[in-house]
Amino acid sequence: MPNAGAPAFYTVREAARILRVNPATIYRAIREDAFPAVRVRTRYVVPAAALDRLVAEAATSGGCIDPARMVAERRAAREIVGGAPW
C-alpha cells in the first residue's frame, strides 16, 4: 500500500528533478524503452515505486545502476511468472 502522503506517480519533470537530470534525458530513455513509465494518452508518468527502487538500488549497490536493465528484468519476470512488483 502506497504511503498516504506520497504520490503514486511522478511527472517526468518531477522524476528528472529527483534524479538531477534534464527531463529530455528521461523522455529519451522512456521512448527507447529504457526507463519505467506509464503513458496516459500523450503524457508519461513515472511510477513512484519504480523510482524508489532505482534510488534504493543505487544507494545499496555502490555501483552504477542501469534503469534499462531494471525495465528488462521486470518485463522478463512478468513474461515468465505472470507479474512482478516494482
Q: Give per-residue pLDDT as tens, 37-76.
A: 999 999 999 999 999 988 888 889 888 888 888 788 877 8
pLDDT score, position 69: 83
Q: What is the CATH number of the domain that holds 36?
A: 1.10.1660
pLDDT score, position 12: 98
Number of domains present in the structure of the chain: 1
Q: Domain of 41?
A: 9-81
Confirm whether 26 is domain-assigned.
yes
60, three cell numbers: 545499496
83 pLDDT tier (thresholds 50, 70, 90): low
| 8 A C-beta contact, residue 47 and residue 8 | yes
The SS3 call for residue 24 is helix
Confirm whether 67 is domain-assigned.
yes
Confirm whether 3 is domain-assigned.
no
- Tell me the C-alpha distance between 55 and 65, whole Å: 9
Confirm whether 43 is domain-assigned.
yes
pLDDT score, position 75: 79
